[in-house]
Amino acid sequence: MNAPAELRWAAKYPELGTGPIPIDPCVSPEFFEQERQKVFLKTWLKVGRVEEIPNAGDYKVKKLDFAKTSVILIRGKDGQVRGFHNTCSHRGNKVIVETGEETFGKNKAAVVTCRFHGWVYDAKGAIVQVPEEQKFHACFEKDKNALTSVHTDVWEGFIFVNLDPAPQVQPLAEFLGGLGQHLSGFPYHELSHCFSYHTYLDCNWKVAHDAFAEAYHVATIHAGSFPNVFTSGLQNVELFGPHRTAAICLSLQNDPTPVAKIANALATGSLVARRGASMLPPGVNPDHREDFAFELSVMFPNLLLHVSEGIWFTHQFWPVSHNKTLWEGKYYVRPPKTNGQRWALEHAQCLQRNAWLEDTATMEDTQIALESGAKPVMHLQDDEVLIRHGYHALEAAMHAE
């Protein structure tokens, strides 16, 4: 017996099953601690873009609350980006004091200096200078007390780190696998004008993540921002190991407002518009659907990367505790060249920001309701297949050797 058309993803991926999903991964402090140890401390995580530190000596410090650390990303004189724990080898002070979730700086000599006692480190982590070095005892060896390095690599301009202290880890390209190939070749660097947002939410990171990983909610939650614009069904769902991707499509039943028509004619900034596919990688929208809006891709564990013609954007969900998450949303377009283009991009972003506010408005209520214990499981419909796959991928990572 063939599966009905409305259950096509269950038919394509029967290994995912169709049963309900236990809520324990979203509410259990014990599960969170295991997840922190077995997933987030051992997996490649996106922490920046190469454009943020373009020159030798430029650095970025990224706080990682789940690991009780922050990471220094610094570009050396050889052009390579390296990562280090932000911990001085002397008495453990932070080498660079953060001014927020992300801190930026530069030094022409490509060094960083601990403000506490003035220890200086170069862009390879080695100690350059120790004030009053002659007063240290013979057991102290500079070449054995460099900054603690972090596995760091770059894919398509995205900087990733892996906090696993093991000398060797799975190469980033191998970890990204087919999804890395699927999304390669998009001109991310050309679309560099960024609208950036972040906030802390009182919910588990998966509750936040799941709210962005399906289109079933669009007709209800986004009835104000995007009325009758997107369809609820996914297209071209593909699974790549722990990663996953799908196409989000337009309904083609709603014309833009007069103001939106003007904005869309001036600049590419809105997802609510039909456009070409000149910059899309060949695997994205392979059947050249007229209603294609954007590709929704999930890089395990916590990054959503979306690409569209002239637009790309990310959502990232950083766990803080079992019921607290840092959400970061970044939306990238081509830099405006005229005041008209700037206005058009601001108009588009106001709509997008409102939609993100609508999304985040559900998350804390979801967490509270789940923690009540009134429901032990969550029921997913067929087009919530990305969420279902996410819990399967998480379970596999939790039980990996």
In this structure, the answer to whether residues 163 and 193 fall within a common structural domain is: no
Query: Are 67 and 160 in a shared domain?
Result: yes
Residue 380 tokens, joined: 């997913």
Domain stops at, among 120, 147, 169: 169
195 and 270 share one domain: yes
pLDDT of residue 5: 63
Question: In this structure, are 272 and 148 located in the same domain?
Answer: no
Domain-embedded: residue 271:
yes
| One domain, residues 256 and 149 | no
- Read off the tokens for 118: 């003035």
Instruction: Specify whether 353 is located in the same domain as 224.
Output: yes
Write the CATH number for 203. Answer: 3.90.380.10
Nearest of 102, 48, 96, 41 to residue 68 by alpha carbon? 41
19 within some domain: no
pLDDT value, residue 223: 87
Position 275 scores a pLDDT of 77
pTM score of the predicted model: 0.95
User: Strands, DSSP E only, in 81-164?
Assistant: 81-85, 102-106, 111-113, 120-122, 127-129, 149-155, 158-162
pLDDT, tens digit (0-9, with 9 covering 90-100), for 354-384: 999 999 999 999 999 999 999 999 999 999 9
**Measured between alpha carbons, how far is 317 from 26 in angstroms, rounded to an integer?**
13
195 shares its domain with 115: no
Supply the DSSP symbol for 134: G
Tell me the average pLDDT across 216-232: 89
Q: Which of 134, 169, 204 is the last residue of a domain?
A: 169
Given this model, what pLDDT does residue 272 score?
86
Look at residue 392 in the predicted model and tell me its pLDDT: 98
Could you give the CA distance from residue 134 to residue 131 in angstroms, rounded to a whole number?
9
Clarify whether residues 343 and 388 are in a common domain: yes
Would you state the pLDDT for residue 401?
Answer: 74
pLDDT at 254: 76
The rounded distance, in Å, linking the Cα atoms of 326 and 318 is 5
Provide the token pair at 78: 């050889």
pLDDT in tens, 4-42: 567 999 999 999 999 999 999 999 999 999 999 999 999
pLDDT confidence of residue 186: 97
**Within a domain: residue 3?**
no
CA distance 287 to 281: 12
Please compute the mean of the pLDDT values over residues 90-95 and round it to a whole number: 96
Tens digit of each residue's pLDDT (9 = 90 or more) over 259-302: 989 999 999 999 888 877 899 999 999 999 999 999 999 999 99
Neighbours of 357 (CB within 10 A): 12
**Domain boundaries, position 207:** 180-398
Please compute Rg for the chain using Cα positions: 23
pLDDT of 294 reads 95
In the 3-class helix/strand/coil scheme, how is 207-263 assigned residue by residue?
HHHHHHCCCCCHHHHCCCCCCCCECCCCEEEEEECCEEEEEEEECCCCCCCHHHHHH
- Residue 228 resides in a domain: yes
pLDDT of residue 123 exceeding 90: yes
Give tens-digit pLDDT for 158-196. Answer: 999 999 999 999 999 999 999 999 999 999 999 999 999
CB of 278 closer than 8 Å to CB of 310 = no
End-of-domain residue from the set 148, 169, 190: 169
- 307 near 294, Cβ under 8 Å? yes
Are the C-beta atoms of 210 and 301 separated by less than 8 Å? no
Q: Is 97 helix (H, G, I), strand (E, B) or coil?
A: coil
Q: Which CATH number fits the domain that encloses residue 74?
A: 2.102.10.10
User: Which residues, listed in sequence order, are joined to residue 113 by a DSSP beta bridge?
Assistant: 120
Q: For the chain, give the mean pLDDT.
A: 95
